[in-house]
Amino acid sequence: MRPRGKAEGRLWLRALEILQELSFCDCTILSMSQRGEHQESKKKLEISPSETMKAEEESYKEENKEPKSEDWRPPSVFGAADLKNRAVGLYNIGQTCCLNSLLQVFFMNIHFTKILRRISVPVCGTQKKKNVPYQMLLLLEKMQCGKQKAVSPKELAICLVAHGVTMFVQYDAAQLFLTLWNLLKKQMKNPELVEKLSDLYTISVQEHLTCQTCSSETKRNSSMLTLPVSLLDSDSHMLKTLEECLQCFFRPEELTGHNMCFCEHCGKKTPFQQSVKLVHLPQTLTIHLKRFCFGRSAYIHKISSCLPFPQDLDFNAVLTEQQCQAYDNEKAAWQYELFAVVAHSGSTSYGHYCAYIRSLTECKWYCFNDSLVEQVSWDDVKSTYGHSDLSWGQTAYLLFYMRKHRQ
């Protein structure tokens, strides 16, 4: 989806020229069919840093030696969640609909913008251009202080390219969300802000592996950025609601036959039971609906079937006592309401993203479709449930739930 106006077109062309000059441009389309890893494991943990982050780590060792500046808190930035006057879109500068949708979800989250406004300013100009949190803050200020209906994310895009994030390609929203979050966390110099960012988004679980022969059990605490739930049960039958998907994710799984594990106590491979128990949920809970999966012929296809999701979600009503490993005061905070939906329309090889977000100040729903922003109804949001006969229709892909305020 390219910019439509002459001014928008000039911005897009200029961004292309700059990125080509930097020799970072790679216009190869990354098909979603190349990302089958989202369905390889039913309970795959998704907090591990991306390969991009590993390559970046060495380059920042030298930069970290330089002195840090004082915290910068620009008084002109109020947060994009304040939509009392107007909402601001983001121009599509070349297949950036996925990036634009995720940025709007970040900016509309008041809890996130409070953290972003407290970051430290990088010392030199080069560091400023390569610092993702700083460039996101500049973009946020530009959105709030200007008079345009939309602004260009060109500078942030160039910053991301410098860290190996390819532009002008189609992205998987779950993968790009993880990449952005890891870049934000790594480049925030203030340990307090890093902790706040982690607390805002990180899910804690406990993995259990129990031998069915001798009953020996091993436990491991893990962190997740999203709950990657399958839309199919163990028999490949379509699940009917989000609650069923969550129950299926936390349901114990029997590892038998070729899936048996070696037991040190038994000295041989034995049947095991694998389970994941919920320990902690964050302020902002992200659920990844795994709509892209392998077919019988090893062909990646998109599941467009209808999957309703509620506006209000109570994990105490969804999970059993055996599926939780948390104290009562923790469980009392497991009351959530829907905050945002990142929806995908199209196929596994080509498509478009937009974001439906509920303003936390107005309690109204908006659709952020690149530069076009308009108020919508809950019925419009429900249109992202999906439909088996509309393979190119909009389907929810990422769900963001916000913890309710405790009375």
pLDDT digits (tens, 9 = 90+) for 210-243: 898 898 888 999 999 999 999 998 888 899 999 9
Asked, for residue 123, whether it belongs to a domain, the answer is yes
Q: The pTM is what?
A: 0.79
Asked, for residue 182, whether it belongs to a domain, the answer is yes
Average pLDDT for residues 261-265, to the nearest whole number? 89
Average pLDDT for residues 314-338, to the nearest whole number? 93
Task: Count Cβ neighbours within 10 Å for each residue of 73-107 and write b for 16 or more, e otherwise.
Answer: eeeebbbbbbbeeebbbbbbbbbbbbbbbbbbbbb
Q: Give how many domains the chain has, as a whole number.
A: 1
**E strands present in 199-251:** 203-211, 217-224, 227-230
Contact call for residues 375 and 366 (beta carbons, < 8 A): yes
Token pair in block for residue 237: 């039958």
Asked, for residue 18, whether it belongs to a domain, the answer is yes
The residue behind tokens 């829907």 is: 338
Asked, for residue 32, whether it belongs to a domain, the answer is no
The residue behind tokens 């202080």 is: 145
Q: Give the domain range for residue 174.
A: 1-27+87-190
State whether the Cα torsion 306-311-313-317 is positive or negative.
negative
Asked, for residue 122, whether it belongs to a domain, the answer is yes
Asked, for residue 348, whether it belongs to a domain, the answer is no
Average pLDDT for residues 56-62, to the nearest whole number? 40
Asked, for residue 12, whether it belongs to a domain, the answer is yes
Residues annotated as part of the active site: 97, 352
Find residue 255's DSSP bridge partners.
272
- State the Cα–Cα distance between residues 333 and 403, nearest whole angstrom: 7
Q: Give me the amino acid identity at 290.
A: K
* pLDDT tens profile 299-309: 677 888 999 99
Give the domain CATH number at 126: 3.90.70.10
Cβ neighbours for 284, distance < 8 A, ≥ 6 positions apart: 109, 111, 112, 200, 201, 339, 400, 401, 402, 403
Asked, for residue 280, whether it belongs to a domain, the answer is no
Using the predicted structure, report yes or no on whether residue 48 has a pLDDT greater than 50.
no
Average pLDDT for residues 78-89, to the nearest whole number? 59
- State the Cα–Cα distance between residues 316 and 228, nearest whole angstrom: 19
pLDDT band at residue 390 using 50, 70 and 90 as cut-offs: low
Q: What are phi and psi of 11, to 5 degrees?
A: -65, -45
